[in-house]
Structure 1
């Protein structure tokens, strides 16, 4: 009897082990199956864009989602997640590091001399000044010394599958497939986590729209040809509204009666109006008559804790290249340094970078209180700073336009009344 019972115990255990072995793959297969099913939904769009089935299948062979990258909408992951984006996780002072800017400026002036002929030709063709082009290259890949490590198809597929901006990245993914169809080698499709490609880091849709043969060799190579990459970048800026011969903006000294609640594109006005209010250039000759007629808006990336700038049209254009005030300011200032100008005049004061969740919650509270907050994304953009300043002004608080736990606590108390 004991022997028979032992036999059945062993047999039952064996059946259980077999059952578990068959069941285990099913537990782990569902996400993979869902991803493959999603990939197949891309085929009609890819086919319509001219992608062959052979190119499509080869592009996704062995591709699995990378769920470690930022900006994903995954159950259990915090909804507000800006990890990996220096423009939103560093203070303005850290992001606009004087030492790093000057290092890139020195390298940029050398680069400018080495590629003078190409830069002059591209500047003449597009109207985009050589200093801005060199600055973008410096900011994006440190003049080509940084090589993005990620597979662009995998990054874009992940973001299109489970990202917070699925439609945008679906469009970028289809564009990347078109690039492959046009003959771009898969080995060249290395990108940032967000899918930006090439020496000056641009998205696939931009490549299809603006890439150009800049060196006259009959092909487009934004990965190895300096002239192609520079011409591509210049055409992007030109296409986004670059004003030939104009500056990106100016550091200014604000009058005592002004404050950071005047910041932001909605308050853009002729520079002459800002001068009439008491604003003046921080350095250099006074504004020219033509400059006084240009529209600009006040931009204070650290609120009351750093320099103030009048951001003109070309600042907006740089910002369209990379949607960040700090990025556009970095490029603008680096271009000025390469041109021969120096550091900011006003110092960056000591201030704390708030937690992303604090910014998000404050945005949400201000929206409840009737302040026009178009985004609740945890990012400290010009509108967020402006609305904080207006809230502080309306409630008799210190006006610094900067998100903090103290301002959030005050807004919470108002929201519950």
Structure 2
């Protein structure tokens, strides 16, 4: 039954219910979409009956201030000795499950443990938002209906298969379970790891870990390859070569004086140099698998912290924090984004978050002004602009 419903969802046209407007009318339209996508009519009616908007969801969607933290602040707030110890204990106690994840999907246990730790503290904090209501609230909202309306249809199909009780709770954005996956990913790539005939990411460690591994494999994770390695760079390094836009073979980086802090660099792979807080902070070599992690979370700071924590779980030493230049406060960061936009750069929203677009623009302007082009916004750059 699951395969047939998944096939129907994949071949049916995407939902196109009008966003905004009367919520009751919206529910009727989405119910009709669910039936057209293969959910039995009685199950669809039961799924949408009594659904409500949740204003807390919209409030959370509009205020994601955590991603304004610097890499050092964010990583030090998430990574503790206790969390590291727990991750290593889980790696041992659930060795059979992680061995299956590595054998079947090629995904390292360090990565899976890092996301499990950050997303739900190993399943202890999975979120208290009613998932059905959260998804419908976001699907009705006009900011990202194209993302969330298909998630509603997937949740309805999971409900029809018995994998989605209506009292399911999770994160405000509709992610479910120990590793926080959206319904469409669960429907298409969920794994029944414990063999009970259900895919329950909230209660089954095997289901959650193996589903997370299969999801990363789907997004392009390459088996038996690293994802991140801390490195040191010479003082004379050309900082304009740093950033995800520049990829070179590891042999080229070594020729430029890039040296690993822990073990050898992986030969034959392309990689980029990451400076999360500029040339005076930690430096990392990011391999192709690092980029796959952005399909799990699109925040540079979050992804880099998770990737780094995964290396720590697998034995890497703590990073060399260095002494980065102070970060700009929120007002100055917004002012910098406004000036970069005025100069023709695409930095996205003026939100004070140092995203990929802002980093690229900062590096370009640093190079133009003769400043060290390391992509880290400083007061000196703001003054120069």
Q: 1:276-316 CA deviation, whole Å, 9 max, x = no partner?
A: 222221x12332xxx23201112222234521111111111
Q: 1:318-343 CA deviation, whole Å, 9 max, x = no partner?
A: 22111122222222222222222221
Distance 1:155 1:410, change over 3 A: farther
SS at match of 1:266: coil
Q: Which has the larger radius of gyration?
A: 1
Tell me which residue corresponds to 2:38.
50
8 Å CA contact 1:91–1:353 kept in 2: the answer is: no
Unaligned regions of 5+ residues in structure 2, if any? 1-18
Quick one: which of 224, 238, 244 aligns to 1:265? Answer: 244
8 Å CA contact 1:136–1:200 kept in 2: the answer is: yes
Any residues of structure 2 matched to 1:29-108 within 5 Å, and which? 34-70=22-58, 83-84=63-64, 86=66, 88-97=67-76, 100-108=79-87
Separation of aligned partners in 1, 2:295 and 2:172:
19
Q: How far is 1:142 from its partner?
A: 0.8
Tell me which residue corresponds to 1:375.
348
Tell me which residue corresponds to 1:326.
301
Tell me which residue corresponds to 2:192.
213
Separation of aligned partners in 2, 1:112 and 1:276:
36
Unaligned regions of 5+ residues in structure 1, if any? 1-30, 73-80, 412-417
Tell me which residue corresponds to 1:392.
366
Q: How far is 1:374 from its partner?
A: 6.1
Q: How far is 1:200 from its partner?
A: 0.6
Distance 1:62 1:111, change over 3 A: same
Separation of aligned partners in 2, 1:32 and 1:374:
28
Tell me which residue corresponds to 1:201.
180
SS at match of 1:145: coil
Quick one: which of 202, 223, 226 aligns to 1:247? Answer: 226
CA-based RMSD of the aligned residues comes to: 2.7
Q: How far is 1:390 from its partner?
A: 1.8
Any residues of structure 2 matched to 1:158-177 within 5 Å, and which? 158-177=137-156
Separation of aligned partners in 2, 1:350 and 1:69:
36
Bigger share in helix: 1
Distance 1:105 1:145, change over 3 A: same
Any residues of structure 2 matched to 1:116-131 within 5 Å, and which? 116-131=95-110
**What TM-score does the superposition give when structure 1 sets the normalisation length?**
0.79
SS at match of 1:296: strand
Distance 1:176 1:261, change over 3 A: farther
8 Å CA contact 2:228–2:286 kept in 1: the answer is: yes
Distance 1:406 1:154, change over 3 A: farther
Q: How far is 1:389 from its partner?
A: 2.0
Q: 1:212-252 CA deviation, whole Å, 9 max, x = no partner?
A: 11122332221111111111001011111111111112111
Distance 1:397 1:118, change over 3 A: closer
Distance 1:269 1:199, change over 3 A: same
Tell me which residue corresponds to 2:3.
none
Tell me which residue corresponds to 1:151.
130
Separation of aligned partners in 2, 1:183 and 1:53:
15
Tell me which residue corresponds to 2:322.
347
Is 1:303 the counterpart of 2:278? The answer is yes
Distance 1:155 1:122, change over 3 A: same
Separation of aligned partners in 2, 1:99 and 1:36:
41
Quick one: which of 301, 313, 317 aligns to 1:338? Answer: 313
Q: 1:378-397 CA deviation, whole Å, 9 max, x = no partner?
A: 33123421320220221244
